[in-house]
Structure 1
Amino acid sequence: MFKKIISIVFLIAVGCFFTVQAWADAQSVISITGEVKQPLYMNMEDLKKFDSACVRLNEVSKDKSFHGVFYFHGPSLQALLDLAGVRKEASAFSKLVDLAIVVRNKKGEQVVLSWGEVFYRNPGDIIVGIEATPIMPKKLGDPAFAQEIAPNMVDQLKRNVGLPTLVVANDFYTDRCIEEITNIEVVDLHLPIQGKKGESIFSPKVTVISGKGKSSELKKISSYPQTALFAKQVGEGKGFHGFNKYKGVSLSVLLEKAGIKPDLNSVIIASAPDGYRSLVSYGELFLSRAGAEIMLADTVDNQPLKKTGKFMLVLPNDLSADRTVKSVDKIEVITLKKEPRVYIISIGCSETKLITLEALSCLSKADAFVCSDELKNSLAGYIGDKPVLFNPIHSLEQIIHKPNPNLTQEEKEKLLKEQRAKEVQKVIAALNEGKTVAYLEYGDPGVFGSGRFLKDYISEDQIEIVPGISAFNVSNALLKRDPTCNGSLVITAPRGLKSNEPLVKAIADQGETLVIFMGLKELPTLVPFLQKYYAGTTPISLVYNAGYTEKEKIVRSTLQEVLKANEKESEKWLGLIYVGPCLN
């Protein structure tokens, strides 16, 4: 079923078909999510169907450690994002120049690129490498040079490269070239726009705001080391409109003087009073030699800037000038560092055909999982070899109670609490290590969800619930009735129902629909209880295995006949009970 989902997504979105076949890493999937028209989920075989670029990468990180020299082959990141269709869902600023692109790998590492450095540079500069070939020194086997070739260099050249790899060829230092990437997310920071389009944009000063909220003001930049450069002004709208000489201070120097510390997860937003803004990534500014030419200028063609404001952001190596910001009044450093959290993710009530795109996106961001064995297998492409902390099925109330029939209810509840407390410590330990945990939940996590106990141990700020399709939603579709025909509908479980008889009486008197979760096993005791308030001819429907295409079934009956009808069914757990006149 999972293979079918992926195929349908591609067929509808782009008119092409990518099969999802197993490869060395349990059908590992790379996803493209976030601000895109059509999220994509691809494995290595899918990536091979794109046109491939070849890039040589001399891997040396900023700490001067050597990691090998390789030829990488693979599709450009620009091509993949074009296929997904980068767009803004709802934004006061419609241009894409303030978008960030966050790339994550299976180790939980992430790096950030700007939209501009991907789309306003040549496509081959940034690729997703799916093949890596080491470039061995020609004199490696020559005994005369044996003493001059470091063993560590040879080890790095012979190492297994984790594919797919993000290859940022235009970076001098290769810290952003992370291996075994799993997720590419296009991020809109949704920053508020302070000014109004069309109003005077002249600003006499620039406010520099660090990631910690500290700020400083600049009214002149003459005291900073000055640099001059030429820039071609070619815009997306007006085309070529100038070749100018700019003078000012390198943005990297400006930020270093302001005490901004290096962070691969940081972005820099430069904005003008009218709301126009552009995003620059830390990596393109500090890891690339071209980053030194990104400038805050105060003169053009040897004249002070006037009409365009006192300061201008100039990016001379962009192939389009649309990231140029006139009359810069604010430069803000924002970190996109991933805060560890628990995603309680609905994967639907049954087969993976009911999983949402948001759920798939969050799966891609997780470093560890809590899930059943069934889900571990069906979502193997997303989970891969990431750790599964425990199986939550083992902590369900009925599973705990089954081998302990002689315990009192109080003793059973104590045993359940001890079991869950022990397991949740694994989640807390993962959070303390900076990992994001995905707790995979069937149905609606907010209605009788198995993960409800997490809030007793983990701060609400660290928990994010991802909604999904419940058995209730699927059952309503299968029934083809309006369960709210008399104005209301009540969802409950046997325990809550039996402890609140006045509620049951009120529901019956008003002819409202009663929906009972987890009630099939208790149907023999529920029916006589309900008959105290409902007539024997009251319609009742049992929906079995909602969402399981081959097994889902509806039994329509009445209160006085339903037990006989249910005896013929083998399923005694996965089902919903509907009671009320709206079922006619």
Structure 2
Amino acid sequence: MAYHMNKERLLIPMLLFLILFFLNSVARAENSLLQGAANSGSNKTSLAKADLRHHKLEVAKRLPVTERRDNKDESKEAFSITGLVQNPIWITKKNLSQLRHATVSKPIKGKTDKSVQYTGVPVLTLLEIVKIQKNKNDKLAEENKKQGNYENAEKMANTKVNSDIVVSVKSKDGRQIVFLLDYLLQSPENEIMLVDDKNRELPELVIKNGNSNIFPLKDIISVDIMQFSVKYDELEDNKLHYIIYGGGNAGIYLPDILEKCKTVDTPLKTLHTGTSKNKHKKYSLYEILSKMPEKVEYTDIFTVISDNGDLASFSFTELEPPNPPVVIIQNKNNTQYSYDLVAADNNGRVRWIKNVRQIKRINLKQKPMIYVIGMGCGDISLLTNEAISYMGRADVFVCMEKYKRSFAGYMSGKPVLFDPFFQLATFYRKHHPKISEEEAERKSKEIYENNMQMIRDALKSGKTVALLEPGDPTIYGGWRNWLSPNFPSDKIKIIPGISSLSAANAALGEYDITETSIVVTEPETLKHNESLIKSAAETESTIVIFMGISRMDVLVPIFKKYYAKNTPVHLVFYAGITGNEMIIKTDLEKVIEDTRANKENFLGLIYIGSKLR
């Protein structure tokens, strides 16, 4: 009897422990959603923290793809989720089908009694997987808390950051829509989903309250998470109450637009509850923006700013009916006007902005650009997150044939315009050995001109072109010789990569070559500037030579003028490429012979200096 009583007494605390453990796990799962990102737009008007508490999200099971796709020929179409995320991923049709799905019923426009059923994966589920990065203030607050500086941690956490996290979705045909992360968090889970299409490889975006003329958005190729900041412009008193767009101070006076708009009835209470009804009027922000001379786009974000810097941002998508109304209230005091904003979310909660001074328009439409992306040493493990993100944003690629295979997983079946090496006469003749040098020059020039026209046509059609450049594009990048002369600098954005110099330095980590200077150069510079070699020899600096393996016969006689024959020379081949990296340690006397014994005459760096002993 005593045994059974003791057993029962033990079972009760065990059951209580299991229940508490389960509840704690659920709470952790809910609050792990986009940790830190909700505070990115934190201010008096932000509801992100509250939404995290109210939002019930089942933790998505891990996608059956790695954070970085391997270098197999994965040429199947896939869409990317990149940008301000910790785990950028590419998702195929098969991957998407294996995630938890939800269903949404979307009314058919003009037919209130009919609707269409969509089944897909909530965007929030996908964002839980990639984990949106924390903003700078959140990171500083966390670091201070770990160090015990609780006062500083609280100060950082409460610092107003006039920025918001935006989710940008782009389709294969170039159409794009943006919406705020706050809007996602405030909406029911199945309001915004990516839906499997049995007839297509790529999914479609369905927004329950979206305009049926635009949605669903088919063939999604990228979901890009980005952050934008809003600057409050100090304007003269007679220039207040402007809608500003297109940069600068060009804008529209708000009262002029209100004259064209109808007042609206709304159950929302006004801020000035003590005033009489005839002293204030209510207007729909959606209608106000629709009356602007310049057409509003689904890539527009509108930020309403008060005179004390409080702000609230809205995408045009969330302003559309039948979403909860966002209202501008015009208050009149004698001959003076003031403006307030009142907005309700899907949960019935209201936010207020008192004394509105500016409504700023920020267009986040992806502009036609050329991204010169540093691909590192060619090893997929040394590819940066930034490079991965910009590959996700690209519509078409320019790259060498090798990259089409090794990075196929990140290119996801998108078109490749051309291989830039084939516009070089020497490379062209290597593949067509029977033609003369003159013919090779003529053919390569034709190819080059045709290639430049392909890029121009892509940009003209609104596409983004990604040139996949070996190493770091800023260190002896060959693209400057053929791409830069044809396109203005404001059309080119450089994405740095891990240079073979960094990888080679790591491979030679046993030597302290940074004790003195490191001179990074190339053969032609050395050939016409022997004083550089002399100075390096006298100061025991280490010289690192790019593109010099094939020029060894020319370089060695020059070096022998200033260095002893037994000066160490190290050749690093395939730096950073796992399984292929190779170091040949020799000296100035034997380096030509050792170089000839090795078949590779391109992918190698030359190190020379006494610090290599």
The answer for the alignment partner of 1:315 in structure 2 is 343
In structure 2, what residue type is equivalent to 1:490? V
**Aligned partners of 1:88 and 1:96 also within 8 Å:** no
RMSD between aligned residues? 3.8
Q: Which residue of 2 aligns with 1:181?
A: 220
Give the 3 Å change call, closer, same or farther, for CA 95–474 of structure 1 in structure 2: same
Residue matched to 2:191: 125
Structure 1 SS opposite 2:477: coil
> Closer, same or farther in 2 for the Cα pair 1:203/1:74, shift >3 Å?
farther
- In structure 2, the partner of 1:74 is 120
Q: 1:269 to 1:372 in 2, by over 3 A?
A: same
2:312 is the alignment partner of 1:278? yes
- Partner of 2:104 in structure 1? 55
Q: CA, structure 1 residues 500+419, in 2 after alignment: closer, same or farther (shift >3 Å)? A: farther
State the TM-score, normalizing by the size of structure 2: 0.74
Equivalent residue runs for 1:329-368 within 5 Å: 329-368=357-396
Shift in CA distance, 335/59, structure 1 to aligned 2, threshold 3 Å? farther
Question: What residue identity is the alignment partner of 2:518?
Answer: L
Measured against aligned partners, the alpha-carbon deviations of 1:418-459 in whole angstroms (never above 9, x if no partner) come to: 543332121112111111101111111122223112110111
CA separation of 1:36 and 1:178: change in aligned 2, threshold 3 A: same
The answer for unaligned runs of 5 or more in structure 1 is: 1-13, 133-159, 196-201, 234-244
Determine what percentage of the aligned residue pairs are the same residue. 30
Match of 2:485 among 434, 456, 459: 456
- Residue in structure 1 matching 2:241, options 206, 211, 229: 206
Q: Contact 2:396 / 2:416 at 8 angstroms: preserved in 1?
A: yes
Does the aligned pair in 2 maintain the 1:203–1:327 contact within 8 Å?
no
Cα drift, residue 249 of structure 1: 0.6
Provide the C-alpha distance between the structure 2 equivalents of 1:106 and 1:310, rounded to a whole number of angstroms: 44
Matches within 5 A, 1:372-521: 372-396=400-424, 398-400=426-428, 402=430, 419-452=447-480, 453-481=482-510, 484-521=513-550
What CA distance in whole angstroms lies between the structure 2 residues aligned with 1:477 and 1:349? 13
The whole-number CA distance in structure 2 between the counterparts of 1:376 and 1:248 is: 57
Distance in 1 (CA, whole Å) between partners of 2:161 and 2:127 is: 16
Quick one: distance in 2 between partners of 1:108 and 1:176? 14
Are residues 120 and 17 of structure 1, via their aligned partners in 2, closer, same or farther at CA, if it must alter by over 3 Å? closer
Letter in 2 for 1:216: I
Q: Structure 1 pair 545/206, CA: closer, same or farther in 2 (3 Å)?
A: same
Gaps of 5+ in 2: 1-59, 138-155, 271-276
Q: Following TM superposition, by how much is the alpha carbon of 1:380 offset from its aligned partner in structure 2, in angstroms?
A: 2.2
| CA distances 1:257-314 after superposition (whole Å, capped 9, x unpaired) | 343423222221111123222221122223x3226x2211347xxxx89xxx943322
Shift of 1:352: 1.6
Counterpart of 2:169 in structure 1 is 103
Aligned partner of residue 189 in structure 1, secondary structure: strand
Following superposition, the deviation at residue 560 of structure 1 comes to 1.5
Partner of 1:266: 300
* Alignment CA distance shift 1:554-1:389 (3 Å): same
Aligned-pair distance for 1:461?
Answer: 0.7
Deviations 1:48-104 (A, max 9, x none): 4432111244676xxx9xxx9854322211222233333553479756874332111
Secondary structure of the 2:564 match is coil
Cα distance in 2 for residues equivalent to 1:363 and 1:520: 31
| 1:507 CA displacement | 1.9
Change (3 A) 1:446 1:225: same
Distance 1:52 1:538 in 2: 66
1:540-551 to 2 correspondence within 5 Å? 540-551=569-580
Partner of residue 253, structure 1: 287
Q: Distance in 2 between matches of 1:484 and 1:24?
A: 39
The secondary structure found in structure 1 opposite 2:563 is coil
2:106 matches 1:89? no
8 Å CA contact 2:342–2:350 kept in 1: the answer is no
Return the structure number with greater helix share: 2
Counterpart of 2:265 in 1: which secondary structure?
A: strand
User: Cα gap change, 1:579/1:24 in structure 2, threshold over 3 Å: closer, same or farther?
Assistant: closer
**Gap change, CA 1:507 and 1:59, over 3 Å in 2:** farther
- Tell me how far 1:416 sits from its aligned partner: 5.6
Map of 2:323 onto structure 1: 290
For 1:377 and 1:69, how far apart are their aligned partners in 2? 45
| CA offsets 1:468-516 (integer angstroms, 9 cap, x no match) | 0111111000011556435322222223322222222222222211111
Are 1:54 and 1:73, in contact at CA under 8 Å, matched by a contact in 2? yes
Q: Which amino acid aligns with 2:171?
A: N
Q: Which residue of 1 aligns with 2:229?
A: 190
Q: Secondary structure, in 3 states, of the residue corresponding to 1:551?
A: coil
Cα deviations by residue, 1:184-219 (Å, 9 ceiling, x for unpaired): 122322222458xxxxxx999622224476423346
Verify the 8 A CA contact 2:88 2:388 in the aligned structure 1.
no
In 2: Cα distance, 1:412 partner to 1:324 partner: 69
Count of aligned pairs: 513
The letter for the 1-side match of 2:180 is S
Tell whether the 8 Å contact from 2:77 to 2:201 is kept in structure 1 after alignment.
no
Give TM-score scaled by structure 1 length. 0.77
Relative to structure 2, which stretch is displaced further, 44-53 or 344-353? 44-53
1:215 and 2:251 matched: yes
Which residue identity does 2:289 align to in structure 1?
Answer: L
Q: Does 1:229 align with 2:244?
A: no
SS at match of 2:506: helix
What residue identity is the alignment partner of 2:601?
Answer: K
**Residue in 1 aligned with 2:209?**
170
* Residues 512/184 of structure 1: CA separation in 2 closer, same or farther (3 Å cut): same
SS at structure 1 position matched to 2:323: helix
